[in-house]
């Protein structure tokens, strides 16, 4: 069996474990590895020689992550904690899935992450900031703990990056960022 086919089968098994098995250190490590793999693939796309191979792999991996969005609110289950989702992950998912939509021509990736913003914009923001934990079933904050440190910092950073990556057309990201800075 070719190495690529074996990696593809392993990725499918790991994605299934991640989505359907209870939290464990193993599923946590698997989820981190899948997101890291997606980021590495994205970085390889800047090399035109790798473009087609890595584009196909990025889309395949994104499709394997789509079932995580099958919750009552469309908020994906966190990759590390199956009781709530973590704010910082929304920023990462937004950048990665918007990029996947552009690469693949499949709008489903963008629709999934734009729904996260809709849910976030409907909720109250204690102290003007987004709490770090959101329950994907209820669409309500899991806790009201806010932080611009761990679990929350990259969300705000990625709002600004989303605006910049959109050639400054993503006015929603810009507004969410500046509203949080007040």
- Residue-wise pLDDT tens digits, 128-140: 899 999 988 899 9
HEC per residue, the chain: CCHHHHHHHHHHHHHHHHHHCCCCHHHHHHHHHHHHHHHHHHHHCCCCCCHHHHHHHHHHHHHHHHHHHCCCCCCCCCCCCCCCEEHHHHHHHHHHHHHHHHHHCCCHHHHHHHHHHHHHHHCCCHHHCCECEECCCCCCECCCCECCCCCCHHHHHHHHHHHHHCCCCCHHHHHHHHHHHC
Residue 14 pLDDT exceeds 50: no
**pTM above the 0.75 mark?**
no
How much is the pLDDT for 179?
Answer: 92
The overall average pLDDT reported for the chain is 77
What CATH code is assigned to 3-181?
Answer: 1.50.10.10
- Residue-wise pLDDT tens digits, 45-75: 666 566 777 778 778 888 888 888 888 999 8
CA–CA distance, 94 with 100 (Å, rounded to integer): 10
Contact 135, 84 (CB under 8 A): yes
Residue ranges covered by each domain of the chain: 3-181
In terms of phi and psi (left: phi > 0; alpha: psi -120 to 50; beta: otherwise), the region of 167 is left
């Amino acid at each position: 069996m070719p190495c690529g086919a074996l990696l593809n089968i392993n990725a499918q098994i790991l994605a299934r474990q991640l989505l359907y098995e209870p939290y464990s250190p193993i599923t946590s490590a698997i989820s981190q590895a899948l997101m890291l793999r997606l980021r590495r693939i994205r970085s390889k796309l800047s090399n035109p020689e790798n473009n087609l191979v890595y584009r196909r792999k990025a889309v395949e991996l994104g499709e394997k992550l789509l079932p995580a969005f099958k919750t009552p609110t469309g908020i994906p289950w966190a990759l590390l904690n199956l009781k709530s989702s973590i704010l910082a992950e929304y920023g990462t998912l937004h950048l990665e899935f918007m990029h996947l939509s552009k690469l693949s021509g499949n709008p489903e990736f963008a629709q999934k992450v734009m729904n996260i913003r809709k849910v976030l914009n409907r909720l109250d923001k204690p102290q003007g900031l987004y709490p770090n934990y959101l329950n994907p079933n209820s669409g309500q904050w899991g806790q009201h703990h806010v932080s611009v440190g761990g679990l929350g910092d990259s969300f705000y950073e990625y709002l600004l990056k989303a605006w910049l990556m959109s050639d400054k057309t993503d006015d929603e990201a810009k507004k969410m960022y500046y509203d949080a800075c007040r």
